[in-house]
Structure 1
Amino acid sequence: MAFVATKGGEDAIAAAHAWRADRRRGDGEGCTLRQATTSFGRAIDRVMAEGALYDPDLAARALLQAEGDLVEAAFLLRSYRATQPRLVDARPIDTTAMRVQRRVSAIFKDVLGGQRLGPTADYSHRLFDTGETAPESAPDPVAAEPVSPLPSAMGILGGETLLEAIPAAGHDAPPADLTTMPLDFPASRPIRLQALARGDEGFLLSLAYSTQRGYGNTHPFVGELRMGEVAVSVVPPELGFAIEIGDIVVTECQMVNQFTGSKTVPPQFTRGYGLSVGHADRRAMSMALVERALRADELGEATGSPAQDPEFVLSHCDNIQATGFVEHLKLPHYVDFQSELEIIRAIRRQADEQRAEDGMDRKKEDGDDRV
């Protein structure tokens, strides 16, 4: 059987791009940027998180260009970000000053400030909307108004010293920026959090699920899950003091996990932390569970599960790298395959020759036996 290269070159590639663009537009003008921004909020939030760039309009453009492929959209957004100049580093955001839209705690019923459900489908029946039902009436806007500031639910445990202090970064220097440097090991906690924050949501979710099924020594509770707007501030060199340049929406999750203690640390609750841009409960919770699992070694717990292995988790959670490594297999590998083909043919020839020799030897032995 002959193996030949597919021909077509630039014309075939251009035709493929044109076909895809025509299919994306559909019968009419297609989905507008405004429609995508207002209708696909959670998808846009995920694209921003995994693309490591907070800009809903750009994320919506990427989502439309990628035909709804979230990984491809994140890839487009991250590629665009790499072409933009870095003007100034923002100061760390203060989530304690968040204008909270959603805040729930699974460990305290009457938490200070109250439970605030916010925009969520957690308490609704998962019934498919065929469009035949009447639209839901709007709630009282006063009840949905964001609150700021709202005290942390974790303060109750911290006041009784039943909760560990916030884990140290492991060094005094400013944390490295994973968007400008390659991942290296051993990875400090800030680097781990950065990698998880832009990791693939499905991968993080599966790892988090594995820790709850026994592949990791965790028994988690949602200490607090909050979502809302936080101010972003910078310190321009020419001014020397901080100024606010805008607001972004983030979701923060603080998990509480049991810890039996050690020779130097009494039994207490430990922390798992997750923070993601946008409204992303699932991502923030998964991140918090995995982040806690990655701390098993420093806490002296038994390790061995995938979610407890920093090199396994951090090296494979980036879906941009993962998709590049997997999808490059679609590109031409003619030379490599021809080499493998010749090796297989040579091995088979040797095997056939060996079987033939073994057959002749058996015939000789059978002849000797008859004599």
Structure 2
Amino acid sequence: MYVAAKGGEEAIAAAHAWLAECRRGDRSVPALTSEQVAGQLTLAVARVMSEGSLYDEALAALAVRQARGDLIEAIFLVRAYRTTLPRLGASAPIDTGAMLCERRVSATFKDIPGGQVLGPTFDYTHRLLDFALAAGDEDAAARMAEAAPDVRPRVSDHLGREGVLRAEPDSADEPADLTRAPMELPASRPLRLQALARADEGFLLGLAYSTQRGYGRTHAFVGELRVGAVEVEVDIPELGFSVAFAEIVVTECETVNQFTGSRQEPAQFTRGYGLVLGRCERKSISMSLVDRALQWRELGEDNVGAPAQDEEFVLMHGDNIQATGFLEHIKLPHYVDFQAELELIRRIRREAGA
């Protein structure tokens, strides 16, 4: 019979020390700073902020360093820290129409009001390794100045005025907070969007890709994808007006999807929506596709059994922290459970042999 060995605390302390040594790496090379991570690994920092549900570039950069680049571990660190923070109140909905866009593109119109703004993007690169970076010439590709961000009108507003895009119902009620109360199914769309905003990017990407391959029938066009800075405001009842207290960078995607109409509604397009903290284009597009697939019930469509249409499957399996915790717990000691099953197998074999 196997027994647990003593000395666990010493082993754990040694493992932590070894982890710190591995994280530091070659000591002849200057140590990586959080400022360098925040300034140069901006997309990794943005993902940690988005899925960690906390907009703080400095903390997200620290988490990326501490996690040795493991973004899910970094997200876990940020989420854990977030639980220690007091909740002072609810901000007013951000106005993405007033966004200072550093990037803004549309796949539905060539000449959109305000113009296309390509901004910083990998879309038109050749996906070839840039050995100038390895040679230390990081500034080689950064010598052309970009135009200053500007406010651009929404493409969806233009389609809405024409009446060809289904209007979204508006509500003055404050939506439930997924981080403060367990989610109940079926979930309202605000709760679904919260869950999708916190969901793992890779999980959403796979589901979104499945809808494009026919498992969900969304057939989406990117009506508009925009990245830029918006103000966050809080209503101050004593003052009678809102006060801006922060400026954050967000990525917003609105997809335009086919919809045939009904006897109650004329033929029109519907939309999928994605909004995430930081610069996360892939995730915001994926989120909008999955959001549209999950609207089949509200729109009176048929459920064709696609994975992206299964609300419970999507919402209960997209959180990478929950998934990681459940998955990785099986590498922790399960000595008693295994010994019980091992003894059962041995007894069954003895009885069968007899």
Report the equivalent of 1:260.
Answer: 260
Report the equivalent of 2:80.
Answer: 79
Do the aligned partners of residues 137 and 9 (structure 1) sit closer, same or farther apart at CA in structure 2, a change above 3 Å counting?
Answer: closer
Do the aligned partners of residues 14 and 167 (structure 1) sit closer, same or farther apart at CA in structure 2, a change above 3 Å counting?
Answer: same
Report the equivalent of 1:274.
Answer: 274
Report the equivalent of 1:367.
Answer: none
Q: Distance in 2 between matches of 1:55 and 1:166?
A: 31
Q: Distance in 2 between matches of 1:80 and 1:269?
A: 41
Secondary structure of the corresponding residue to residue 20 of structure 1: helix
Q: Distance in 1 between matches of 2:94 and 2:121?
A: 24
How big is the shift at 1:263? 3.7
* Residues 77-226 of structure 1: pairs in structure 2 closer than 5 A: 77-131=78-132, 132=135, 135-136=140-141, 138-141=143-146, 144-148=147-151, 150-167=152-169, 173-226=173-226
Larger Rg: 1
Letter matched to residue 141 of structure 2: E
Letter matched to residue 348 of structure 2: I
Q: Distance in 2 between matches of 1:182 and 1:246?
A: 28
Q: Distance in 2 between matches of 1:345 and 1:352?
A: 10
Letter matched to residue 334 of structure 1: Y
Do the aligned partners of residues 237 and 345 (structure 1) sit closer, same or farther apart at CA in structure 2, a change above 3 Å counting?
Answer: farther
Q: Distance in 2 between matches of 1:236 and 1:342?
A: 66
May I ask how many residue pairs the two structures share in their alignment?
347
Q: Distance in 1 between matches of 2:15 and 2:136?
A: 41
Q: Distance in 1 between matches of 2:337 and 2:70?
A: 30
Q: Distance in 2 between matches of 1:299 and 1:88?
A: 33
Secondary structure of the corresponding residue to residue 252 of structure 1: strand
How big is the shift at 1:215? 1.1
Letter matched to residue 63 of structure 2: A
Do the aligned partners of residues 334 and 161 (structure 1) sit closer, same or farther apart at CA in structure 2, a change above 3 Å counting?
Answer: same
Q: Distance in 2 between matches of 1:87 and 1:101?
A: 31
Secondary structure of the corresponding residue to residue 178 of structure 1: coil
Do the aligned partners of residues 349 and 297 (structure 1) sit closer, same or farther apart at CA in structure 2, a change above 3 Å counting?
Answer: farther
Do the aligned partners of residues 337 and 136 (structure 1) sit closer, same or farther apart at CA in structure 2, a change above 3 Å counting?
Answer: same
Does residue 1:47 correspond to 2:61, yes or no?
A: no
User: Structure 1, unaligned stretches of length 5 or more?
Assistant: 354-371
Secondary structure of the corresponding residue to residue 102 of structure 1: strand
User: Structure 2, unaligned stretches of length 5 or more?
Assistant: none
CA contact (8 A) 1:217 1:302 kept: no
When the two structures are superposed, what TM-score results if normalisation uses the length of structure 2?
0.94
Do the aligned partners of residues 137 and 285 (structure 1) sit closer, same or farther apart at CA in structure 2, a change above 3 Å counting?
Answer: closer
Do the aligned partners of residues 137 and 202 (structure 1) sit closer, same or farther apart at CA in structure 2, a change above 3 Å counting?
Answer: closer
How big is the shift at 1:182? 1.3
CA contact (8 A) 1:262 1:300 kept: no
Q: Distance in 2 between matches of 1:30 and 1:104?
A: 38
Letter matched to residue 174 of structure 1: E
Q: Distance in 1 between matches of 2:238 and 2:343?
A: 66
Does residue 1:299 correspond to 2:299, yes or no?
A: yes
* Residues 314-329 of structure 1: pairs in structure 2 closer than 5 A: 314-329=315-330
How big is the shift at 1:156? 2.8
Residue-by-residue CA offset, 1:179-234 (whole Å, 9 max, x unaligned): 11111111000000000001100000000001111111110100000010000111
Q: Distance in 2 between matches of 1:348 and 1:238?
A: 77
Q: Distance in 1 between matches of 2:348 and 2:330?
A: 25
RMSD (Å) for aligned C-alpha atoms: 1.7
How big is the shift at 1:48? 0.3
CA contact (8 A) 1:24 1:30 kept: no
Q: Which moved more, 1:328-337 or 1:132-141?
A: 132-141
Secondary structure of the corresponding residue to residue 272 of structure 2: strand
Letter matched to residue 191 of structure 1: L
Q: Distance in 1 between matches of 2:352 and 2:263?
A: 62
Q: Distance in 2 between matches of 1:210 and 1:168?
A: 30
How big is the shift at 1:157? 2.1
Letter matched to residue 140 of structure 1: A
When the two structures are superposed, what TM-score results if normalisation uses the length of structure 1?
0.89
How big is the shift at 1:12? 0.3
Letter matched to residue 17 of structure 1: H
Do the aligned partners of residues 253 and 11 (structure 1) sit closer, same or farther apart at CA in structure 2, a change above 3 Å counting?
Answer: same
Q: Distance in 2 between matches of 1:133 and 1:230?
A: 34
Report the equivalent of 1:283.
Answer: 283
